[in-house]
A = this chain, B = another copy of it.
């Protein structure tokens, strides 16, 4: 006995926040009458956002945000829902991807949730008749937000866009824990080596970096942190990590993980100082944190000793192992399952409340890029706690007063 499994089942199980919206809005359908466009990576976890928008009453049109990551079974399952329309299939060419995004826009969505700002850009560039009637949008990537902000600065942006970024929830949920865990997990599986006992160098002590450094230390690694900011450096030192320059770290590290969001963090001078057999991985953003071009030009040869590992053979006999081509090791490693499901649930819940807020609650917002309001970040946290059955305290009256009146006579420390 073994039943057929819906390809969205597992992801849905680990998206309890989105399911809470489905449960709450499934009857009233507050988004009824609206058509929401979703451009995103078309895998199961994204399907739950699409499903939730539809449960809340919207018609949904969806397309990939880039052509390679589409899962055909997910597309088929979603497309089979009445009121949900796919502009996607597995194995699309770049041209087909472009054409389908345009075709989606011709179906006149009045809200756009985007991942990289490609669909929002196309709407402004080539479908201005559609853009003018769009109520608003949401964008969830840093790169996409930059594009939205550039459009705003140039005065061309036609509708308000909530940017889902830089909030407390995003920092600790997505960065510290999501990236923190999945980076280490994917490195361990890809290399089939052990973390404990290794000298693990984490470049950057931002949210991702401190998540990785703390968890690596929690597993038994001897952690080293590099930083350009003296206060973050000192914080890392006080948190028990050794702090040094990358030049010093290059000579002692076994495993290097970049998380700075900047470029050339590990470069020629560092490759030259490294010992034989080191592993390099990137968990920052783009594939420029590790200067792969420099690595290539230094090497006399390359090989692939293991799936997901490129080995650069130095003329002096040393080998340097690059994981996942220097791309995000937690998302693009050979065994990667993408972000953990609970992390996607949080980010997509932000996207959902962005849509709900602009469509239902805040119709008067003028065009522009807006940081997603604190109250929405907070609402997502509240719902997550509810799904965990965690009760927290509420301030009592005397506390509310105290919190706003700091002239506390008569008390002593």
Contacts and interface: CB of A to CB of B under 8 A. Distances in A.
B197 A238 contact: yes
Nearest to A338: B192
Contact of A234 (B13, B173, B287): B173
B384 A286 contact: no
A177 B238 contact: yes
A338 B197 CA distance: 19
A413 B409 CA distance: 49
Given A143-B408, A240-B221, A393-B226, A169 B335 contact: no
Interface residues of A, number: 116
A353 to B, nearest CB: 14
Contact of A392 (B178, B227, B287): B227
A175 B143 CA distance: 35
Interface string A351-390: 0000000000000000000000000011001101100101
Contact of A327 (B192, B263, B413): B413
Contacts of A245: 391-393
Contacts of A142: 406
Interface in A181-235: 181-182, 184-186, 188-189, 192-197, 215, 217-222, 226-231, 233-235
A125 interface: no
B220 A215 contact: yes
Q: Which of A196, A218, A220, A394 is most buried by chain B, counting CB atoms within 10 A of its CB?
A: A196
Contacts of A411: 286-288
A413 B328 contact: yes
Copies in the complex: 4
Contact of A222 (B242, B248, B391, B403): B242
A301 B9 CA distance: 15
Interface string A242-272: 1111101000000000000011110000000
A385 B146 contact: no
Contact of A264 (B195, B235, B319, B396): B396
Q: Which of A184, A220, A226, A288 is most buried by chain B, counting CB atoms within 10 A of its CB?
A: A220
A183 to B, nearest CB: 11
A192 B337 contact: yes
B332 A393 contact: no
A304 interface: yes
A306 B235 CA distance: 28
A194 B302 contact: no
Interface in A269-314: 277, 285-288, 301-306, 309, 311, 313
Interface string A145-178: 0110010000000000000000011001100111
Nearest to A142: B406
A226 to B, nearest CB: 6
Contact of A277 (B5, B13, B184, B193): B13
A138 interface: no
Contact of A408 (B150, B185, B228, B286): B286
B228 A337 contact: no
A331 B194 contact: no
Nearest to A282: B413
Interface stretch (A23-31, A93-101, A104-112, A339-347): A339-347
A223 to B, nearest CB: 8
Q: Which of A4, A241, A390 is most buried by chain B, counting CB atoms within 10 A of its CB?
A: A390
Given A169-B231, A172-B235, A238-B172, A219 B181 contact: yes
Contacts of A235: 168, 172
19 contacts: A5-B303, A10-B192, A13-B277, A146-B406, A168-B235, A169-B234, A181-B188, A182-B188, A192-B338, A192-B341, A196-B240, A230-B384, A243-B390, A244-B391, A245-B393, A262-B403, A327-B413, A328-B413, A331-B413
Q: Which 4 A-B pairs have the closest CB atoms?
A: A218-B218, A286-B411, A192-B337, A230-B381
